[in-house]
Amino acid sequence: MLRYAIRRLSLLPLSLFLLSLICFGLLQLTPDDPVQRLLPDEDARLSNNDPEAYDRSYRSAAADLGYDRPAFYFSLQNAALPDTLYRIVRPEERALLRAFTLRTGNWPAVSHYYHTLKRIAWAPASADQPETTTLLRRLLLQNDFDRAKQSINDLPNAPQTAPLKAAFSALETQTSRAKLLLPALDWHGSNNQYHNWISKLLRGELGVSLNDRRPVGKKIGRALKWTALINGFAILLVFFLSIPLGLYMAGYRGGRFDRITTVGLFLLFGIPSFWVATLLTNFFTTPAFGMDFFPSMGFGEVPEGASVWQIIRIRAAHLFLPVLCLAYPSLAYVSRHLRRSAAHEMNQAYVKTARLKGLSRSAILWRHVLRNASFPIITLLAGILPALLAGSVLIERIFNLPGMGQLLYNAALVRDWPVVIIVVLLSGLLTAVGLLLADLAYAFADPRIRLNATKPSAS
């Protein structure tokens, strides 16, 4: 058993590494510019009287977030692109340089055009012609070569714009397409965004929310306790009811109890939990139907100096309906699968031997059948840890519970990607751990699994 556990544990670091790569890749693909979220909007930038100060503040914010570094330890890109393109921290300007270089293959000419445009667009003398100035500054964000050409042709012929037109003309005519056919592998070392990101995560620094500038760890910690509370009670309720229900359905299979319970469980499994939650909130939390048995949304306010029983009473009244809505689909699922596994075990030889020894049906079910039929329970174990973190978005939204599901929903609405990515990462981490625990539990419940896993394959 120990050797089997070590072999399974040795696969966990690789799984976590791949998971971190996926989450980091999703973070890189988010459409927003996180640096821009910390600075004035684009209109403020275009009308800013001190563009150099804006660029300095942008670079400072990018350095704080680690966006002034290459994305990964290495990069595989076109040979025409320089290996220092990441130093252009503004995504729009970096996209301009990349697109123009892949169009012409002439990086020196593209770089000359870019620096000429930037010098003219931010020149103090350009403030005398606001329309021309706005057009020049928007060219810094224009990565479409043909549209940029049209905009430059529309510029007035003036000493101010002549160098820019000459630079673009050289860029258009002096193409070098040979490098566009070759790849280039560039090594950046450990001073990159992924290394910086994963190092902070290992130190417990989960980042800062782009929405309210609060630490992501504090936001998750506040929501996690409520999600763990309601999901913990839901899981306990599922185990407390599904195990005896599934066993006795198998023990009395074909009888009235089995038939009635089977129909009831099929109905429960087929009814959407969010629909039931909506009905329960409408009927049992409002006085409109005369059944105002439970308080309204949230977890309730506990007065200062309240006793333990007062706290339990207030919390239980608010938790009963959401816990019920979270538990009943899993209750139906686990009970039915446990019933099928237990019914199969009831036909085995060891059950017949136990009957011949005079053991009661309850003793046979609990002492012998349960362990061999426990695989549906172990399967549910794999989903316990991620459920404790991720929560249920719909249930928490309906009952207005400030848990992880609500946090994830709100963060996605306001495009607070650091919060979304960390929640996804933690959910994936706990899923991997849950699957590992379930795998070990399978081997513990049935030694044949670990024997087959350690048995050498025939050559």
Q: What is the predicted pLDDT for the residue at 43?
A: 45
**Domain's final residue, options 172, 202, 232:** 202
Q: Which of 215, 205, 249, 199 is nearest to 369 (CA)?
A: 249
Question: Do 297 and 334 fall within a single domain?
Answer: yes
Q: What is the predicted pLDDT for the residue at 12?
A: 77
Q: What is the predicted pLDDT for the residue at 459?
A: 41
Pinpoint the alpha helices (H) of 346-416: 349-356, 361-364, 370-372, 375-382, 384-390, 393-398, 404-413
**Domain's final residue, options 171, 202, 233:** 202
**Domain's final residue, options 150, 175, 202:** 202
Question: The whole model's pTM is what?
Answer: 0.77
CATH number at residue 282: 1.10.3720.10
In this structure, what is the dihedral angle of CA atoms 143, 146, 150, 152, given to the nearest 10 degrees?
Answer: 50
Tell me if 138 is assigned to some domain.
yes
Tell me if 20 is assigned to some domain.
no
Q: What is the predicted pLDDT for the residue at 113?
A: 92
Question: Do 149 and 50 fall within a single domain?
Answer: yes
What are the pLDDT digits (tens) for 310-323? 777 887 888 888 88
What are the pLDDT digits (tens) for 203-231? 888 888 888 888 998 999 888 888 888 88
163 Cα distance to chain centroid: 48
Q: Which of helix, strand or coil describes residue 177?
A: coil
Tell me if 169 is assigned to some domain.
yes
Q: What is the predicted pLDDT for the residue at 97?
A: 92
What are the pLDDT digits (tens) for 21-60? 998 988 888 877 888 777 765 545 544 556 667 777 788 8
Question: Do 166 and 308 fall within a single domain?
Answer: no
Give dist(CA 17, CA 15) in Å, integer: 5
Tell me if 28 is assigned to some domain.
no
Question: Do 253 and 355 fall within a single domain?
Answer: yes
Tell me if 7 is assigned to some domain.
no
Question: Do 275 and 198 fall within a single domain?
Answer: no
Q: Which residues of the chain have pLDDT under 70?
A: 1-5, 8, 40-52, 124-129, 376, 380-391, 443, 445-459
Tell me if 25 is assigned to some domain.
no
Question: Do 86 and 180 fall within a single domain?
Answer: yes
Distances (CA, A) of 119 to 56, 59, 137, 166: 15, 17, 10, 14
Q: Which of 427, 233, 229, 228 is nearest to 328 (CA)?
A: 233
Tell me if 1 is assigned to some domain.
no
Q: What is the predicted pLDDT for the residue at 1?
A: 55
> What is the per-residue burial (b if ≥16 Cβ within 10 Å, else e) of 45-81?
bbeeeebeebbeebbebbeebbbbbbbbeebeeebbb
Pull the structure tokens for residue 320: 């009963």
Question: Do 155 and 220 fall within a single domain?
Answer: no
Question: Do 83 and 153 fall within a single domain?
Answer: yes
Structural domain count of the chain: 2
Q: What is the predicted pLDDT for the residue at 385?
A: 64
What is the domain range of residue 283? 216-454
Q: What is the predicted pLDDT for the residue at 391?
A: 59
Tell me if 8 is assigned to some domain.
no
Question: Do 137 and 231 fall within a single domain?
Answer: no
Question: Do 232 and 111 fall within a single domain?
Answer: no
Question: Do 266 and 388 fall within a single domain?
Answer: yes
Question: Do 131 and 222 fall within a single domain?
Answer: no
Pull the structure tokens for residue 442: 């399978």
